[in-house]
Chains A and B, each alone.
Chain A
Amino acid sequence: MAQATETFYEVIRRQGITRRSFTRFCSLTAASLGLAPAAAPRIAHALETKPRLPIIWMHGLECTCCSESFIRSAHPLAKDVVLSMISLDYDDTLMAAAGHQAEAILDDIRTKYKGGYVLAVEGNPPLNEDGMYCIDGGKPFVEKLKAMAADSLAVVAWGSCASWGCVQAAKPNPTQAVPIDRVIRDKPVIKVPGCPPIAEVMTGVISYITTFGRLPELDRQGRPKMFYSQRIHDKCYRRASFDAGQFVEEWDDEGARKGYCLYKMGCRGPTTYNACSTVRWNDGVSFPIQSGHGCIGCSEQGFWDNGPFYDRLSNVRQFGIEANADRVGGVVAGVVAAGVVAHAAVTAVTRLTKKR
């Protein structure tokens, strides 16, 4: 319980981080934020004197599945994260205050912790209709998002909405919902995709920052490498069936009961980077494939438009046609083959008539 009053600095010192590394972290952070060198001591001061890292958790167009997932975390427990690791100063879903009292917290954090709080975003901003498809405090959400991002230390994009756009950005994207890095250009954005992300991945990212005193290493697409550098397929316990050539052919068939590979049922495990097959869900109880359903690829960009979910091949939508590659290609090849036969026939006839 003692850590409740420990400062961020004390916590990372206890984790074995030296004073020197700490000051270096502060200046690197300042540099990465494009702040003047003078900002480094201010960041250091904030982290040394403030017990817990302030987190502002904002909601745009979303379904709150990320918040729900977050509170499912088994290690660390969500209550320990909130009581001991971070200071969750603003979160629409959990906070006691509402209305003006809630809005006042945002202003207060922006001024008091300038450059020293993490902005966590669940959902994304719609840009159509001047942003008024998501109104917060009478104003477009996108304005509030930009304002809070401007003074933050770093931004965490929770889930596929904030990271990629997710369901409301699926074609035809009626509200023109965009991933948050489309409107937040000047801050490091840590993308934690998934619909929702795994609970322990979410708390893992937060506790990585508070424990090691730095932002996690990100991959090419801005995701923490530690959780998103391998495909579900790579560590799937049904991989042996895949290599053997044993597939579920139909729901609830012999293969389904024996736990064969769900590849033919459209499983997106081979194209999905996430920790589901290793960390698993809800304290390691299961993950979609273990419970008999293929992965739908919910942590991948644009996965909604790579359907149908139950077909191995995605549908190609071009020129008003919608079919998968085999159907498109099969038709094209078939037409060409038929053309070739016809052409050969005409050639033969022409040749014969000429000879005569």
Chain B
Amino acid sequence: MDINTPNGFRLDNSGRRVVVDPVTRIEGHLRVEVNVDANNVIRNAVSTGTMWRGIELILKGRDPRDAWAFTQRICGVCTGTHALTSVRAVENALGITIPENANTIRNIMQLALYVHDHIVHFYHLHALDWVDVVSALSADPKATSALAQSISDWPLSSPGYFRDLQGRLKRFVESGQLGPFRNAYWGHPAYKLPPEANLMAVAHYLEALDFQKEIVKIHTVYGGKNPHPNWLVGGVPCAINIDGAGATGAVNIERLNLVSGIIDRAVTFTEQVYLPDLKAIASFYKDWLYGGGLSGRSVLAYGDIPEHANDYSPASLLLPQGAIINGNLAEVQPIDLKDPAQIQEFVTHSWYKYPDEAHGLHPFDGITEPNYALGRNTKGSRTDIHEIDEGAKYSWLKAPRWRGHAMEVGPLARWVVGYAQNKPQFREPVEKLLHDLNVPVGALFSTLGRTAARGLECQWAAHELRRFQDKLLASIKAGDLATAYTEKWTPDTWPAKEVRGVGFTEAPRGALGHWVSIQGGKIDNYQCVVPTTWNGSPRDPAGNIGAFEAALLDTPMADPAQPLEIIRTLHSFDPCLACSTHVMSPDGQDMATVTVR
């Protein structure tokens, strides 16, 4: 069967079916099935979200000030970003403002998350798609050292260092217990790096594992712990005390120094390790420019990191806001999260039920009624799926669309929007990277482009971290110690009638929005539309395919039994499936209609 989708892709599911389940090195549970043609090129792709928790229903009737803690538990990888979105949504609904310092500290925490998440993603969730660990065993430590020193000033680069590491790796492999590296795709023809680059990357895999735990200490200082630091409606929970009694128990000069020191190291690590590695690896994969999918056609960014407290207009947001449709970079369209005509969710291919499935619903009007049912062409049974039928319902993710278009979100989407808006802070690093790698702009719209945008964003975030930390110091120096406003803390200060609010952020993985309605001091309805719901969405009634499915198309596989190319492209999105929560009824049978009027 040959279909042309409205968003310009050709699907052919006549070839051999390849199933990857579980997709590992992601957050949550994901299944992917593809059809390959006679030349092992992917001609059809089906992405299935395979988990669902119902957190939005659990939130109903709760205190809106607690909502950040519940939604934060949607995801422990992008920890904090849901909490931030939630406090913004509740503040928006109740008309609560926050002090300038609170905005600065929230930005610092969100930027620290970008740096942490991007580093962990690149090294621990994604690198093994490009780096062959076993090949590193045959590297020459001296040549590795020369390679490392040629691309960076990072001090851990002596031949002895690499020899030592190689020795440890050798003993590990010789023990016969390969642990997490077991049964993988070592030696696969899609690996292109020379042994020395592999050894360098493995060294940095371990260094990054050590370093990532330092970055999160920024969360620990301002939020008390990581993962899942603490947040507060109306500001941030940490108080600032520079001179008075009890300063040791608050944000004081020692704490500020601790954060500053970590920021400096984060900048160094990003610029001396992450980016040089990224460029080095990319230079060997310049021919592997598959996986563009929707990125060259339709991308969406909500924007984030408000420069000024309580101002979420595009002018205040440092990360860009806007939508690009059909590859028209000349026109970035404005977005409005409250406009019922813009963001809508469809369920024709999702395990939910609408009264009228031909139409989508805005999150404020969202209905969620579970409907786990498999199509006629499913191979296997209800509880043992061999091959899924994408003609019917096939995922626990809904299909969100912007004005009917399937959109890609994430670092690449943000950077494409920023690039299209001609913002120098996005345009210049992109152009420099393209120039350094000697590739055209079109190379950006690929698996590698996604991975590169993440690296550039990490560098940008590290520098913004520095700037916001300095801003905090300046504000404290000027005598402003406020971190929370409490006039509207207690429910008796809230409006009695129903109020609605939207909060949005850019999670490391992409645009994230929470829609809340509050009545009588309690949550009446809560809906989240998360990055992975955009990217991993199943098809909609018109037949548009989502970003995962689009990105997998037309990729040649060296050996369909070893799906390295598939997971490489999927990982470039940094999927987070636990985020794909929607509501259902307690007994799993009845309808739990959560409607807002």
Which residue from A67, A173, A175, A309 sits with its C-beta under 8 Å from B69? A309
Chain A residues in the interface with B (C-beta under 8 A): 1, 4-5, 50-52, 54, 59, 61-69, 71-74, 77-79, 82-83, 86-89, 91-105, 126, 128-141, 143, 166-168, 170-177, 195-196, 199, 237-238, 250-253, 256-260, 276, 281-283, 285-293, 296, 298, 304, 307-310, 322
Which residues, 1 to 58 on B, are CB-close (under 8 Å) to A? 19-29, 31, 48, 50-55, 57-58
Q: Given contacts A175-B53, A258-B244, A322-B61, could you give 15 more A-B pairs where the C-beta distance is less than 8 Å?
A: A1-B164, A51-B175, A64-B75, A92-B29, A97-B183, A137-B22, A175-B584, A251-B489, A257-B239, A259-B246, A282-B213, A285-B217, A286-B221, A291-B224, A292-B250
Of B380-388, B428-436, B446-454, B466-474, which binds chain A? B380-388
Chain B residues in the interface with A (C-beta under 8 A): 19-29, 31, 48, 50-55, 57-58, 61-63, 65-66, 69-70, 73-77, 79, 120, 124-125, 128, 133, 164, 167-168, 171-172, 174-185, 206, 209-210, 212-213, 216-217, 219-230, 232, 234-241, 244-250, 258, 370, 372, 380, 382-386, 396, 481-484, 486, 489, 561-563, 567, 578, 583-588, 592
Are the CB atoms of A257 and B66 closer together than 8 Å? no
Residues of chain A within 8 A of B29, CB atoms compared:
59, 92, 134-136, 141
Are the CB atoms of B183 and A104 closer together than 8 Å? yes
With A95-B25, A96-B128, A285-B217 as known contacts, state yes or no: A290 contacts B249, CB within 8 Å. Answer: yes
Residues of chain B within 8 A of A173, CB atoms compared:
58, 586
Are the CB atoms of B76 and A139 closer together than 8 Å? no
Are the CB atoms of A138 and B73 closer together than 8 Å? no
A286, B245: Cα distance in complex, Å: 19
Which residue from A105, A137, A256, A257 sits with its C-beta under 8 Å from B183? A105
Which residue from A61, A131, A260, A282 sits with its C-beta under 8 Å from B220? A282
Which residue of the partner chain A has the closest CB to B586? Answer: A172
With A91-B180, A291-B237 as known contacts, state yes or no: A68 contacts B223, CB within 8 Å. Answer: no
Are the CB atoms of A251 and B237 closer together than 8 Å? yes
A141, B584: Cα distance in complex, Å: 19
A72, B244: Cα distance in complex, Å: 33
Are the CB atoms of A98 and B175 closer together than 8 Å? no
Most buried by B among A50, A69, A292: A292
Residues of chain A within 8 A of B175, CB atoms compared:
4-5, 51-52
Are the CB atoms of B179 and A283 closer together than 8 Å? no
With A97-B183, A293-B232, A308-B65 as known contacts, state yes or no: A92 contacts B58, CB within 8 Å. Answer: no
Which residue of the partner chain A has the closest CB to B177? Answer: A87
Which residue of the partner chain B has the closest CB to A265? Answer: B237
Give me 25 A-to-B residue pairs in the complex whose CB atoms sit less than 8 angstroms apart, sorted by A's number. Answer: A65-B227, A73-B213, A78-B209, A87-B178, A92-B26, A96-B133, A101-B184, A132-B382, A135-B48, A135-B51, A136-B29, A139-B385, A141-B29, A174-B583, A251-B235, A251-B484, A252-B484, A257-B247, A258-B250, A259-B246, A260-B246, A281-B225, A285-B217, A291-B238, A309-B65
Are the CB atoms of B246 and A175 closer together than 8 Å? no
With A195-B228, A252-B239, A296-B69 as known contacts, state yes or no: A63 contacts B578, CB within 8 Å. Answer: yes
A285, B563: Cα distance in complex, Å: 42
